[in-house]
Amino acid sequence: MRADIDSGAVHDEGACAATRPLGAVGSSPRRLVQVLLGVFWLADGALQLQPFMFRRAFVTSMLLPAARGNPAPVASSITAMAHFLEPHIAVWNALFAAAQLAIGLGLLVRQTVRPALLASFAWSIAVWWFAEGLGGLLTGNSSPLTGAPGAVLLYVLVGLLAWPEREDHRDLRAGRGGLPSERGARVAWALLWVGSASLLLQPENLAGLALHDALLAASSGQPGWYAHLLSGTAGAIGSHGAVLTVGLAAGMLLVGIGVALGWQATSLLGVATFLALVIWVFPEGLGGILTGQGTDPNTGPLLVLAGLAWHRSYPAPQDLGVVVPADLAAAR
C-alpha cells in the first residue's frame, strides 16, 4: 500500500493502520465527526420535544431573557421574535424540533451531508441571535463557564471543520482540511479559546463569588445528587473562585495559542478536552439536560467535538502515515 508523496517509500498495511487516526482507513477522516455532529443535532431535537418547550414558559423564561443586556437593536429584535412566537409556541416548537431532527438525520446519511450542514449553518445563526442573544458577547458580562460564545456557534465551527472533501481530491489532500483553509481554521481555533480566556478575565468574572454563584445557579432544578455535588463544590470554593478562574483562563490561552501554532497539538487537544468536560460538569450543569428544560448540551461537549474535528481535519502528516518530502513539509 503506497502512503508516500513523491517518494519511493512504501508502508505495509499494518504499519499504516497503526499510525492513522481511528476512522481514517476506508473513509473520510471527517466522517466520524459528521456522524457525531448528527447525533448532537438529533439529541437537540429530542430535547426540543420536552413538555416544557411547548408551553409559554419557554418563551418567557428562555427566549425573552436572551434580550437582557444586549444593545437596543439586538434586544428589540429578540423581544419582537419572542412575542411573535408566543401565541402559537406549541406549533412553532414542533417545527423547531422537526428542523433539528431533519438536520441530524441528514448528517447521518453520507449523500445528504452537504445540504444538512448548510441548513445547520442557517439554523444555528438564527438560534444564536434570537435564542442565545449572540451568546451574551455584547452584554459585557458573558462567561465561557455559562455558555459563551454560544453552543450553536460551535455547531457552525464543527460543521466547517467537518465539511466533506470532494471525491476526486480525497487522495491528493491526504485527509487534510475542512471547508476553511488550514490558516483560517487555525485563526478560528485561536479566536475561540483565546477569546474565551479574555471573557473569563473580565472584572465581573473575577469577582470573589462569581464562580460560586455560577455553580449554585447550575444546581437549580437538578436531581438531588447532582445539585448536592454542585452546591457542595460551590461551598468549598467560597470566595476564592478568582484563583481557579485565572487558572482556567491560562489553560484556555495555552490551548488556543499552542494548537493554532502546532506546539504539542495532540497533547494540548487533550488538555482542551479536560477543560471542556470540567466546565460542562460543573458551572454548565450538563447544559441543564437533567432539569427538563435544557435545549442543548451547552458548549462543553461541543468544545470536545471541535477538538476532534480539528484532529480529523488537520492531522499532522505523521498521524496519517504519510511520508512528506522535506521541501513540502517546510512549505507548510
Q: Which helix (H) or strand (E) holds 194?
A: helix 182-200
Split at pLDDT 50, 70, 90, the class of 51 is: very high
Split at pLDDT 50, 70, 90, the class of 267 is: very high
pLDDT score, position 181: 84
- Specify whether the CB–CB gap between 38 and 107 falls below 8 A: yes
Amino acid at 307: G
- Specify whether the CB–CB gap between 147 and 298 falls below 8 A: yes
CA nearest to 275, candidates 305, 306, 300, 309? 300
Split at pLDDT 50, 70, 90, the class of 297 is: very high
Q: Please give the average per-residue pLDDT across 135-151, as a whole number.
A: 93
Supply the pTM of this predicted model: 0.84
Peptide bond connecting 149 to the previous residue in cis, omega within 30 degrees of 0: yes
- Per residue in 78-110, pLDDT tens? 999 999 999 999 999 999 999 999 999 999 999
- Specify whether the CB–CB gap between 162 and 313 falls below 8 A: yes
